[in-house]
Amino acid sequence: MDILANLKRILALYRNNFLVLLIATALTLLLSGLSLGLLAGPLVGGLIVLCLKLWREDQTDYKEIFRHFNSFLPTFILTLSAIIISFLVGIIGSIPLIGWLFTLAVGPALSLLAGLALAFVVEQELKPLDAIKRSVGICLTEPLMIWLYSLVIGILGSLGALFFFFPIILTAPITLLGTAFTYQQLSARETATLTFGQKEKQIGLAVLSGLFLVGLIFRFALGYQPSFFGRTVLSRNRPGLSERVAGKFLSSFVGEDVKVGRDGSSFSVGGMTIGSKLPKDYPKDVPIYPRAEIQSYLGVGNGDNSTATFSSKEQSSAIAAYYERELTANGWQFETSNFGELLIMIGHKNDDRSCSISITEPEDEETTIILTLKREEE
């Protein structure tokens, strides 16, 4: 694997497809956050497939991220596994010096493995465990070079995390393109295996358990926060998007009843449901474009704090005119911002409710409508 040549190709592809990558990444981060991380699996999987199609010069657009919800359950399992492993690595990372070196050694590789596993699940429809084994196997064919490669693309892709939310939209696609390129190059390879004896497994497990216990002491008992170049490694003064998403997701997952539909197309946690229909108690004063087909819904039964995605064959101008007329008729005050292919309408009412409507119409594709409702908490 020629790391320098690969980076040049990644940056060239990033530059030539900047707009579609920007829109797809922004929607993935936004919807993953609004869904408390529940939709992150199929959305990120779709984003990796989008990157794959760009490498293969196949026709695609930002709507690729919405085309893989049939893989919701396996991608959800992979996402949950990645969150748990990241949490465990973060605890060990609380140990001064040793923990930071451990995080540096393990973190980039885990990120690449998670991305490869998502690609195997979404594109080849492998089961989660088979996808993980396959990803580990191909990485073991060139372990050192692939680790260095994962470190480089991980650093480039996370540069935005040093600032605020919007810059990471600009840098995250580099990591995703790098993951897709690795999958493109290595997915057909014969996998390698790494065999450990019973004694080696016991020693490894004992070492990891010891590091985890020491990390717990430093993390929670002593409140230690390792720093690097003046910045904390595991925490910031303001929690980032990924930390907020993971925290809300885990608290909801552990404390509420979780139900998954048989075909993986529906999911509920507590009072929140993901499905393909609007609830019966959805607010009547929120206009729904009549010639649009719903693709997904996430929210509670009364529509508060919900997101619904629709597609329509109508032009965006007709849809925007409908919403301007109907929002006014239903007492909403709103502002409209037009960014070319993307139109955003932000509305609010005196009952502490707000809404946002985004309308996108790429060339030769159906128009996508994303309708978000939010009620301010007292």
Q: Per-residue pLDDT tens for 101-146?
A: 888 888 888 889 999 999 999 999 899 999 999 999 988 888 888 8
Inform me whether the pLDDT recorded for 224 exceeds 70. Answer: no
Give me the pLDDT at residue 299, please: 78
Bridge partners, 345 (sequence order) = 336, 357
Between 78 and 341, the higher pLDDT residue: 78
pLDDT interval class at 274 (50, 70, 90)? low
Inform me whether the pLDDT recorded for 209 exceeds 60. Answer: yes
Give me the pLDDT at residue 87, please: 84
pLDDT interval class at 249 (50, 70, 90)? very low
Inform me whether the pLDDT recorded for 259 exceeds 60. Answer: no
Between 217 and 224, the higher pLDDT residue: 217
> Nearest CA to 274 among 21, 22, 43, 24?
43
Inform me whether the pLDDT recorded for 228 exceeds 70. Answer: no
Instruction: Give the C-alpha separation, 165 to 161, whole Å.
Output: 7
In the chain, ranges of CATH 3.30.310 domains: 276-375
Give me the pLDDT at residue 378, please: 56
Inform me whether the pLDDT recorded for 358 exceeds 80. Answer: yes
Inform me whether the pLDDT recorded for 321 exceeds 90. Answer: yes
Instruction: Give the C-alpha separation, 314 to 264, whole Å.
Output: 30
Give me the pLDDT at residue 290, please: 93
Amino acid identity for residue 267 in this structure: F
Contact criterion met (CB below 8 Å) for 286 and 347: no
pLDDT interval class at 365 (50, 70, 90)? confident
Give me the pLDDT at residue 220, please: 64
Give me the pLDDT at residue 83, please: 86
pLDDT interval class at 168 (50, 70, 90)? low
The token duo for 1 is: 């694997």
Q: What is the 3-state secondary structure (H, E, C) of the chain?
A: CCHHHHHHHHHHHHHHCHHHHHHHHHHHHHHHHHCCCCCHHHHHHHHHHHHHHHHHCCCCCHHHHHCCHHHHHHHHHHHHHHHHHHHHHHHHCCCCCHHHHHHHHHHHHHHHHHHHHHHHHHHHCCCHHHHHHHHHHHHCCCHHHHHHHHHHHHHHHCHHHHCCHHHHHHHHHHHHHHHHHHHHHHCCCCCCCCCCCHHHHHHHHHHHHHHHHHHHHHHHHCCCCCEECCEECCCCCCCCHHHHHHHHHHHHHHHCCEEECCCCCCEEECCEEEECCCCCCCCCCCCCCCCEEEEEEEECCCCCCEEEEEEECCCHHHHHHHHHHHHHHCCCEEEEEEECCEEEEEEECCCCEEEEEEEECCCCCCEEEEEEEEECCC
Bridge pairing between strands 342-348 and 227-228: unpaired
Contact criterion met (CB below 8 Å) for 375 and 304: yes
Inform me whether the pLDDT recorded for 261 exceeds 50. Answer: no
Contact criterion met (CB below 8 Å) for 370 and 319: no
Amino acid identity for residue 143 in this structure: P
Give me the pLDDT at residue 323, please: 94
Bridge partners, 293 (sequence order) = 311
Give me the pLDDT at residue 48, please: 93
Q: Per-residue pLDDT tens for 29-85?
A: 888 877 777 888 999 999 999 999 999 999 988 889 998 888 889 999 998 888 888
Give me the pLDDT at residue 289, please: 94
High-pLDDT (> 90) share of the chain, %:
19
Contact criterion met (CB below 8 Å) for 371 and 357: yes
Most confident of 87-91, 296-300, 359-363: 87-91
State the chain's mean pLDDT as an integer: 79
High-pLDDT (> 70) share of the chain, %:
81
Q: Per-residue pLDDT tens for 140-166?
A: 888 888 888 888 888 887 765 554 444
Instruction: Give the C-alpha separation, 45 to 122, whole Å.
Output: 6
Inform me whether the pLDDT recorded for 311 exceeds 60. Answer: yes
Give me the pLDDT at residue 207, please: 86
The answer to whether domain 276-375 has CATH 3.30.310 is yes
> Nearest CA to 165 among 52, 225, 241, 54?
241
Instruction: Give the C-alpha separation, 175 to 154, whole Å.
Output: 6
